[in-house]
Amino acid sequence: MAVAVITGSCGLIGSEAAKYFHNKGLDIIGIDNDLRGYFFGREASTGWQLTELQRMLPRYRHHSVDIRNENAIYEIFQSLAQDVRLVIHAAAQPSHDWAVREPATDFTINANGTLVMLEATRRFSPEAAFIFMSTNKVYGDTPNRLPLEELDTRWEIRKPHAYFERGIDESMSIDNSMHSLFGVSKTAADLMTQEYGKYFGLKTCVFRGGCLTGPAHSGAELHGFLAYLVKCGVTGRTYTIHGYKGKQVRDNIHSHDLVDAFWQFFKMPRPGSVYNIGGSRHSNCSVLEAIGRIEGLCGKPLRFEFSGHARSGDHIWWISDVGKFQRDYPEWSYTYDLDRILREMVEAMQEKAAGPAA
């Protein structure tokens, strides 16, 4: 029996990974206690996704366990031991706004929880590949020091600049910047994952994500920019733009393309690897540009307002350079561009909004 252990298995990335690796023949052990509902409210709960996974995947087994619970996590790993071939650690407190409310909760989930998962893997399943879903927030607000210029609908990096053509690569410093408390907790986890690869020789990989998205995302106002924006466009809610005139730029990668990158690493692990991963120049937009596209897909205006206050440590412009990953894993390529991502998300949200009677 070959097993993949997936934390955050009912979230956007975890659920996509569960389906993907189940289709590749692995048994799936999902670990998720639906803290997303606690973070962002009932409508952000991932309980609906658990129902879907249990319906669709016959070899899916679920554990409603907190990743900070060392004894419970060790018990799961001890029962599986060498059967575990892959660990995908996607569970997290994902919002830098929310982290300010409960800094200790944020840090213990993101940092301590990751340490528990790494140590469980080292003790009981040391041959398994370990993939950690990190974030571009490990770079703090350093990207905001790049030479940016304001255009009609977006901020853009000025030419000529090393980061203009492809985006930001892994050489950007993570030091001497404001990360937000969330960024700090994720950076601690990021570095610990690298260390378990370099010090203990575990087959670890860190993916520093840009905007991860797709129809399985339970978007909320404090997290999941594109998913929540689509929800506002479909349902008629007013979307609040926080700072930068709505011209802040994000690159957007569909969860399927991200999980396909996981598969490439799983087939040929490079212990201690770190990769920036996102939509790159292939798939990116500003908030204003996304609003325009969603309005076109929905056939109606999207209501929005400006708060006037940017989030502390937020990026004005972020586009990932995925060149390092593509050089190491040349079989990987995108299957989704921005238009396909948004079309799929709008259709899924419209179907959900229509309800079961539609």
Asked if residues 36 and 44 have their Cβ atoms less than 8 Å apart, the reply is yes
Average pLDDT estimate for 234-256: 95
Q: In which residue are the tokens 């056939």 written?
A: 299
What is the b/e burial string over 314-331, where b = at least 16 CB atoms within 10 angstroms of the residue's CB?
bbbbbbbbbbbbbeebee
Please give the model's pTM, rounded to 2 decimal places. Answer: 0.95
Q: In which residue are the tokens 């956007």 written?
A: 12
Asked if residues 64 and 32 have their Cβ atoms less than 8 Å apart, the reply is yes
Q: Residue 356: its pLDDT value, please? A: 63
The C-alpha atoms of residue 332 and residue 334 are separated, in whole angstroms, by 7
The C-alpha atoms of residue 127 and residue 266 are separated, in whole angstroms, by 11
Report residue 222's pLDDT band, with 50, 70 and 90 as the boundaries: low
The set of long-range contacts for 353-356, using a CB threshold of 8 Å and a minimum separation of 24, is 353/234, 353/235
- Give the fold, CATH level 3, of 3-353: Rossmann fold (3.40.50)
Asked if residues 250 and 260 have their Cβ atoms less than 8 Å apart, the reply is no
pLDDT, the chain, mean: 95
Structure tokens belonging to residue 314: 């937020």
Q: What is the residue extent of each domain of the chain? A: 3-353
Distances (CA, A) of 24 to 59, 180, 261, 330: 12, 38, 14, 20
The answer to whether residue 257 scores a pLDDT higher than 60 is: yes
Report residue 353's pLDDT band, with 50, 70 and 90 as the boundaries: confident
- Give percent of the chain with pLDDT exceeding 90: 88
Report residue 357's pLDDT band, with 50, 70 and 90 as the boundaries: very low
- Partners of residue 6 on adjacent β-strands: 30, 88
- Give percent of the chain with pLDDT exceeding 70: 99
62-106 confidence digits (pLDDT tens): 999 999 999 999 999 999 999 999 999 999 999 888 999 999 999
Q: Residue 220: its pLDDT value, please? A: 72
Report residue 216's pLDDT band, with 50, 70 and 90 as the boundaries: confident
Report residue 358's pLDDT band, with 50, 70 and 90 as the boundaries: very low
The answer to whether residue 165 scores a pLDDT higher than 70 is: yes
Q: Residue 234: its pLDDT value, please? A: 96
Could you count the other beta carbons within 10 Å of the beta carbon of residue 203? Answer: 24
Average pLDDT estimate for 13-39: 96
Q: Residue 180: its pLDDT value, please? A: 92
Structure tokens belonging to residue 313: 């440590």
Asked if residues 132 and 114 have their Cβ atoms less than 8 Å apart, the reply is yes
The answer to whether residue 167 scores a pLDDT higher than 50 is: yes
The answer to whether residue 45 scores a pLDDT higher than 50 is: yes
Average pLDDT estimate for 308-330: 92
